[in-house]
Each structure stands twice: as C-alpha cells, then as structure tokens.
Structure 1
Amino acid sequence: MRQLLRLLIIPGIVWVLGGCTEKLEPKPATYSQILTGTDKKTWRTVSFQIIDDGQASPVTPITQSGVDNCITDDLLTFYANAEHKLEASEGASKCTSTDPDIYVTDSWALVNANATVEFYLPVLNGKYPWTIKNLTASSLTVEYYFQDINASYRFTLNSTTK
C-alpha cells in the first residue's frame, strides 16, 4: 500500500511544482522594433545600387555617388512612438551654415505583410515606398521599384545608434 501511495504522491508533487512555472518563450523583434530600437534609432545611407532590366550596377558607396557630401552624411531618425515620427537631420557637414540641424520632420509607415516601409530619403529628396530587402540591428537595405520601367534603386543604410 505504501508503495502505491508513493507512486501516486511523487508524480503529483512533480506535476504541481512543474505546472506552476511559466514557460519562457523568446519574442522575436519585429521590423519596427529593429528599425526604431526601443525609443528611437538613427541611420545613415552608406551605399546604393541601380538595377536596370535585371542588370545590377556595382554597389557604390554613397560618398562616390556624385551627390553633394553635405547630403550624403545626413541622418534619419526613426521614432518608436505612436505617430511614427521621422526626422532628417544634417550630418557632420551642412550645405549652408544657416541650415537647421533637423530639416525634415515627417512620419514613416511599415506594412509587415509585404515588408514595405515608406519614408523620406535625403539622397533622393523624397518619400518613397521601399521594399525591405534586409534588416538587421545594424543594417537596412531597401529597394524602390519603378512602376513604369523594369528598374529599381537599392540603398543600404547603417545604424549609427545601438
């Protein structure tokens, strides 16, 4: 009888003690968390590539693009707030000394279903819907597909904040 009681009590204790703990499951970061960090995250354009009719140009550093250096070092800050605030700001060099540090305040929009993010890009001086090709904590590669021709622009940005 004692043997039977032990066989019932031991599994019961294990079940009670084991059933009280919550299984910890990792929560993968979403695109928006990687893009903005917990509060805000700043990015700088580092390279571009043109894809024309399936033929890709070499990856070119943005500093060798022919765009004025006072634009190629500009920064984009994505905020993790409800408004999805975006700021474009001057980098180390300003085009004119009277330019404000923050020269564009806008918003960004993300659609996880098709991995697109819409935001202003200083190098092109416009807001475009970008397809996310790659997004890590330190690098973002996006591509804009032209609708009327078989061509696209691909840009890579690196995070300047952790």
Structure 2
Amino acid sequence: MKQLIRFLLIPSVIGWLISGCSEKIDPKPSTYSQLLTGTEKKTWRMVSVFIIDQGQSSGVIPASQLTPCIADDLLTFYANAEHKFEASQGTNICYPKSPDIYVTDTWDLVNANATLDFYIPLLNGKYPWIIKNLTATVLTVEYYFPDINASYRFTFNSVTTK
C-alpha cells in the first residue's frame, strides 16, 4: 500500500502543484476601435493623399505639399461611449483668432465592412471611409465616389496615444 501511494499519489500531487503555479498567458489582441483610439484617446496627423480619377493615379502626394495650415491638423479619436472626435489646428495655424479645437463631432466604426465615418479637414466634411490599413501607428482610409470612377485615399500617422 505504501508503494502504491508513493508511485501514484506523490507524483500526482507534485504535478498538480507545479501546474497550479504557472499562469496561463492569454493575449488580448487590440480591436479596430482600440487601434484607432488607444485606451483613452489617440491623435493622428495626415501624411499623404492618393487620388485616383478615371483610372489615372496621382501617385502619393505628401501632406506637406497640400494646404500647409490644414494638412498638419490633428485628428483626435476618443475611446468613450459617445465616440467623441476633435479636429484641432496643427503647428501651422490657419486662423489665429479661432479656437485651437475647431471641430467637435463623433466617429462611427462598422467592423462588418471596415467603414469609418469621420471628418477630414482637407475636404471639410464627414464621409464613410473604407479602412485600407489600420495598425497602432498607421491609418489608411479611402473614399470611393458613388457616381464617378474616382477615389481619395488618405494616410495618417499617430502622434499621441493615451
């Protein structure tokens, strides 16, 4: 009986103790919205534009070659229930007498078709953008015009995250 306890029970108890001490690593991948907003908020700056019109490509146009006071504006997406969005002036101030934050709106994300609705200062409007690429540091979106063979593609880099 002692032999049975020694060969069956002791290894079982030791195995249970060893396996009970290890912690299972459970990775938590970021969701689309968390990549966009961080845990509290994330700010993005436009880096390039790509225009396709009637099958003709403009090539990548750096944001610095666009209207300087708008191209460096900051777009902040908040990770709150209201999906708050703010557009604020960058280092090139367009309107010195205007407030720094000149648009407060909301953003909407539909995971099923990777559509993100938000305001882009260069176009002065809110459109349903198709997400082409979204990582922790790069956001590329594209708008396809419904009635003409054209699209606008914008790429943004994150500049701050909380």
Find the residue that maps to 2:42 and give its secondary structure: strand
1:48-78 Cα distance to aligned partner (Å, 9 max, x none): 001234443210102213xx32111111111
Instruction: Please say which of residues 138-147 and 54-63 is displaced more in the overlay.
Output: 54-63
Quick one: percent identity of the two aligned structures? 68
What is the alpha-carbon distance in structure 2 between the residues aligned to residue 108 and residue 133 of structure 1? 17
What is the alpha-carbon distance in structure 2 between the residues aligned to residue 107 and residue 56 of structure 1? 31
What is the alpha-carbon distance in structure 2 between the residues aligned to residue 17 and residue 139 of structure 1? 43
Q: Which residue of 2 aligns with 1:51?
A: 52
Q: Where in structure 1 are there 5+ consecutive unaligned residues?
A: none
Superposition TM-score, scaled by structure 1 size: 0.89
Instruction: Report the Cα offset of residue 23 of structure 1.
Output: 2.0
Amino acid in the other structure paired with 2:147: D
Find the residue that maps to 1:144 and give its secondary structure: strand
Q: Which residue of 1 aligns with 2:111?
A: 112
What is the alpha-carbon distance in structure 2 between the residues aligned to residue 138 and residue 160 of structure 1? 8
Amino acid in the other structure paired with 2:51: I
Q: Which residue of 2 aligns with 1:82?
A: 81
Instruction: Report the Cα offset of residue 16 of structure 1.
Output: 5.5
Instruction: Report the Cα offset of residue 14 of structure 1.
Output: 1.3
Q: Which residue of 2 aligns with 1:8?
A: 8
What is the alpha-carbon distance in structure 2 between the residues aligned to residue 4 and residue 151 of structure 1? 79
Number of equivalenced pairs:
160
Amino acid in the other structure paired with 1:77: T
Residue 27 of structure 2 is aligned to residue 26 of structure 1: yes
CA RMSD of aligned residues (A): 1.8
Instruction: Report the Cα offset of residue 100 of structure 1.
Output: 1.1
